[in-house]
Structure 1
């Protein structure tokens, strides 16, 4: 597992995007978006990549 600690985040994300059960959502620069879970809501601004892992 130490090799994963050395891996760049961009490389980890790119690999996860290819996996079954993973959905990718890309947010453009300066685009605002919100994530709501239960009663909590958080606001962000792109650029961003959201990976939803339902595996």
Structure 2
């Protein structure tokens, strides 16, 4: 559907506006996802290290 709108002469303006809006949303989404992944990774590493420490060598 998007390539058809881009190919149309009148669809270029709306496509550009939509692309800019989706771009801002995608950047926010990427930041949120990266932050959540970092938090999950930190918690996972903490649990892993605690498990290694609690386990007898």
Q: Answer whether TM exceeds 0.5 for this pair.
A: no
Question: Larger % of strand: which?
Answer: 1
Q: TM-score band (shorter)?
A: under 0.3
Larger radius of gyration: 2
Q: With a CA cutoff of 8 Å and minimum separation of 6, indicate the structure with the bigger relative contact order.
A: 1
Q: Structure 2-normalised TM-score?
A: 0.25
Q: Structure 1-normalised TM-score?
A: 0.26
